[in-house]
Amino acid sequence: MSDTPALLVIDVQQSFLQAPYWREDDVPLFREKLLQLIDGANARGWPIVRILHEEAAGHFSVASGLVQPMAWVPQVHDAVFRKQVHNAFTGTGLQAWLRERGIGRVIISGIRSEQCCETTARVASDLGFDVDYVTEATLTFPMVHAGSGTRYDAQDIKQRTELVLDGRFARIRTVDDVLADH
């Protein structure tokens, strides 16, 4: 295995702009950190992998025309994988692509922190990859617990995600920490 990691940019796609829960509050910082991470990975020659989520209907369907990167996401990438489930590995060929290149470490970024990003981190770990989860380069939105009615803001959700991943499935890292590695 090489020491070279691959950056996974998960579901940073126009579909989310049509979602009823979409909010711009945290987008500027997310965009800044994700762009810093993409630029840093590109400068280091790390493979950049786009993951796009597709569903049969709605704003995540191919027919919607929205299953494409957000306009501000740089065109630089080494591969694109399309998924129909929450993680970026099941049914996509991503694992084989990484293994063929001797990549044993993935860096997780994208949308939504606690859903597709967290699920991808867990599956990657189970498949034997070392996982760096870069929370500040992920984005999520407030949620309300169906049973209690308790509202959780995006930062609460991100903290919970870090809690359950750290030391079990991933290392929680900042953009600066990840880029300082190489």
The 10s digit of each residue's pLDDT in 95-149 is 999 999 999 999 999 999 999 999 999 999 999 999 999 999 999 999 999 999 9
**Residue extents of the structural domains in the chain:** 6-179
Is this model's pTM higher than 0.85 or not? yes
d(CA 93, CA 17): 27
pLDDT higher than threshold 80 for residue 1? no
**What homologous superfamily does CATH list for 6-179?**
Isochorismatase-like (3.40.50.850)
d(CA 9, CA 49): 6
d(CA 75, CA 135): 22
Hey, what's the torsion of the CAs at 133, 128, 46, 35, to 10 degrees? Answer: -20
Query: What per-residue confidence (pLDDT) applies to 102?
Result: 97
pLDDT higher than threshold 90 for residue 167? yes
Q: Residue 133, SS3?
A: strand
pLDDT band at 35 (very low <50, low <70, confident <90, very high): very high
Query: What per-residue confidence (pLDDT) applies to 3?
Result: 84
Residues 135, 113 contacting (CB under 8 angstroms): yes
Identify the bridge partners of residue 7 per DSSP, sorted by sequence position: 48, 107
> Which of 157, 175, 177, 140 lies closest to 33, judged by CA?
175
Query: What per-residue confidence (pLDDT) applies to 45?
Result: 97
Q: What mean pLDDT do residues 161-176 have? A: 98
For the record, the structure tokens of 53 come out as 């989520």
Residues 51, 10 contacting (CB under 8 angstroms): yes
The 10s digit of each residue's pLDDT in 55-96 is 999 999 998 999 999 999 999 999 999 999 999 999 999 999
The 10s digit of each residue's pLDDT in 16-33 is 999 999 999 999 999 999
For the record, the structure tokens of 63 come out as 């027919």
Identify the bridge partners of residue 155 per DSSP, sorted by sequence position: none
Query: What per-residue confidence (pLDDT) applies to 101?
Result: 97
First to last CA, the chain: 16
pLDDT higher than threshold 80 for residue 2? no
